[in-house]
């Protein structure tokens, strides 16, 4: 079994970014970190002001959450089964000897998602990073912020999607 970090562009073309044969939770987490770094590079390393970066982003990384906590063993698997959004639920057994993977259509699983669009260093002295997610923010009232958790949101059309692929 191997894990792959991939992306799918606006034309539906997929590319393998990185392959890892480390089938542990740590190996999976590293690919997630690498995927989020790619999204940050795509969206945040330009000359735009932060507000413009958050509006004119080009790529996303899907995170599955419960409350505010990341579900580390649930990852976005891209479009698969019937051209629908899929996820993997990965069960890491003791010593990673028995790793089982279940593929599900996102809409069939009761799970929340959020769309990561990048991070910046907000305090260089203390190396504090601020993560940003796709949201609908009222510009007149920044406190009125609602995270987008719907794959069909129009703001996600034509974007590059980073995801994890698993080859058994």
* pLDDT confidence of residue 51: 81
Say if residues 42 and 160 touch (Cβ distance below 8 Å).
Answer: yes
Count the domains in the chain. Answer: 1
Which positions ≥6 away from 138 have C-beta within 8 Å?
A: 144, 145
* pLDDT confidence of residue 67: 81
* pLDDT confidence of residue 144: 58
CA distance 27 to 22: 5
Q: Which residue, among 122, 116, 114, has the nearest Cα to 40 in the 3D structure?
A: 116
Domain range holding 84?
2-167
* pLDDT confidence of residue 162: 97
How much is the pTM? Answer: 0.88
* pLDDT confidence of residue 125: 83
- Can you list the residues of the chain whose pLDDT is less than 70? 94-97, 136-147
């Amino acid at each position: 079994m191997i894990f792959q970090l991939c992306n799918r562009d606006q034309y539906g073309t997929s590319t393998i970014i990185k392959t890892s044969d480390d089938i542990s939770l740590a190996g999976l987490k590293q690919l997630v970190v690498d995927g989020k770094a790619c999204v940050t590079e795509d969206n945040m390393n330009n000359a735009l002001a932060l507000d413009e970066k958050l509006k004119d982003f080009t790529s996303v990384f899907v995170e599955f959450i419960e409350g505010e906590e990341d579900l580390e063993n649930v990852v976005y698997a891209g479009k698969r089964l019937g051209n629908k959004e899929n996820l993997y639920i990965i069960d890491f057994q003791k010593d990673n000897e028995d790793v089982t993977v279940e593929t599900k259509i996102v809409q069939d699983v009761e799970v929340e998602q959020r769309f990561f669009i990048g991070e910046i260093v907000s305090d260089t002295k203390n190396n504090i990073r601020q993560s940003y997610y796709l949201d609908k923010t009222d510009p007149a009232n920044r406190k009125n912020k609602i995270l987008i958790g719907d794959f069909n949101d129009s703001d996600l059309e034509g974007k590059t999607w980073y995801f994890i692929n698993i080859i058994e």
